Structures are given as C-alpha cells and as structure tokens.
Amino acid sequence: MTKVLIALIGGAAIGFASLAQAADLPPRPYAQQSYDYPPSFTWTGFYAGVNFGGGIGGFNGPGVKYFGSSPAGLLAGLTAGYNYQSGNLMIGAEGDYAWSHIADSATPYRGVSSTGIVQNIDTIRIRFGYAADRFLAYGTGGYAGATIRGVLNNTPSMAVADQSLYANGFTLGVGVEYAITPHITAKAEYLYVSLASNNYFNNTPNYTSAGANLNLLRGGVNYKF
C-alpha cells in the first residue's frame, strides 16, 4: 500500500512538473489571417479595344440632290488611348478608326440614280471626365475625318461616275464607361460629326459639292493595360 501511495505521489509530481514546464514555454503562435483588399481602381493608363454602332445624319450642300438627304448605316472599328486620373477628374486622349457604310440614294433626274456613302470614319479626340471609382462620365471633342463616296449612274447613256474624296471636320460628344474588371471596360457614347464639303463629278453636267453631318451612337469594349 505504501508503495502504491508513493507511486501515485510520484506520478502526480511528474504531472505537475510537466504542466509547470509547459506554462513556462512561450505561447504557440496562432496562424495570422491575411486579407487581400482590392486596390482602389484608377483610370490612369493605356488602353485599346473595339467599337461598334450605327449612324444617321444628312448630306449638305448642292450634293443633297445627288447623295440623298438621310444617310444611315453601321460602323465598327478599333480604339486606342491613354487616360490620366487625379482625384475624381480624368483627362485623356483617344483615337479611333471605323469601317462604315452610312449611305443614302437619290434620283436627281429621270434615268439618273446616285448614291452617297460615308466610309472609314476616324477621330482624334480629347476626353474630360469625372470618375467615381469604376464609373466614368466624360465629354469629348476633336478632329474627325472620313471618306465620302459618290456614285452616279446614267441609265440612258450607261455612264457611271464613282468618286471618293476625303473630308476633314470635327466631332463633339459625351459618353459613359464602366470597368467590369481591373482590365476590361465597356462604354457607350454619342458623337456628332461634321464633315466639310468637297467637289464631285468635275467636268461633267452633274458637277456638285457635298459634305455631311452625322450622329453616331456606338458602344465599345477596351482592355486597360
């Protein structure tokens, strides 16, 4: 019995000694949790993408008689630019090129049919905007140019005149853009484009001049680098 009691006391002493030693050990470090908060979005940087949409408007000058008064059609193209953001304000430069077919037809004389077509619209613009995190509202303006093509068919004589001339002009517009991800943005914009007149069908009885005013509504998707 005495031996059993001594064994129990010894075991208890060893147990208390082990607990005391454990208490003297430094506390076990707990695994630290890290939280990756997404950085605040910025519009600063280069970007490139595609644009697509449609346009309506009118030819102007005497050429309305030959080209029609209400051209309409589709366009699609490429966009590239750079933005700089400071606080909520953004300024940027953007250029784009669009393949377009915005056209109308007319019958200026009996037996004569003609078509006016606005092709290959390009712009170089400044953008000023207000950014609220991933949302951007902006105004834009600058240079615009396009090829205006005139096609004239004289049925009685089977004569055809087909002339394409580049027209310079300007553009003004507004738009909104939203960053779907840190690199992908989507936008919608309206542009008013005014193109100066050129002379068509020189040295023919159908000599005329024409320019164009267009309203473009288009969307776009950009990749921000």
Amino acid at the residue 172 = L
36: its two tokens = 């990756």
- pLDDT value for 10: 45
* Strand residues in the chain grouped as ranges (E): 45-60, 72-86, 89-109, 112-132, 135-154, 159-179, 184-200, 208-224
174 SS3 class? strand
- pLDDT value for 156: 65
Q: Global pTM?
A: 0.80
15: exposed, middle or buried (C-beta count within 10 Å: 0-12, 13-18, 19+)?
exposed
19: its two tokens = 């607990």
- pLDDT value for 34: 53
Cα of first residue to Cα of last residue in the chain, in angstroms, is 84
CB 153 within 8 A of CB 193: no
- pLDDT value for 52: 97
- pLDDT value for 108: 86
Whole-number Cα distances in Å, 53 to 130, 154, 162: 24, 33, 27
pLDDT 10s digits, 102-115:
999 998 888 888 99
Measured in residues, the chain has a length of: 225
CATH 2.60.120.260 fits 46-224, yes or no: no
- pLDDT value for 20: 43
- pLDDT value for 86: 96
Rounded CA separation 53/191 (Å): 11
Residue (of 208, 191, 187) closest to 199 by Cα position: 208
The residues of the chain scoring below 70 in pLDDT are: 1-39, 155-159
Rounded CA separation 151/27 (Å): 89
49: its two tokens = 């993408």
- pLDDT value for 29: 52
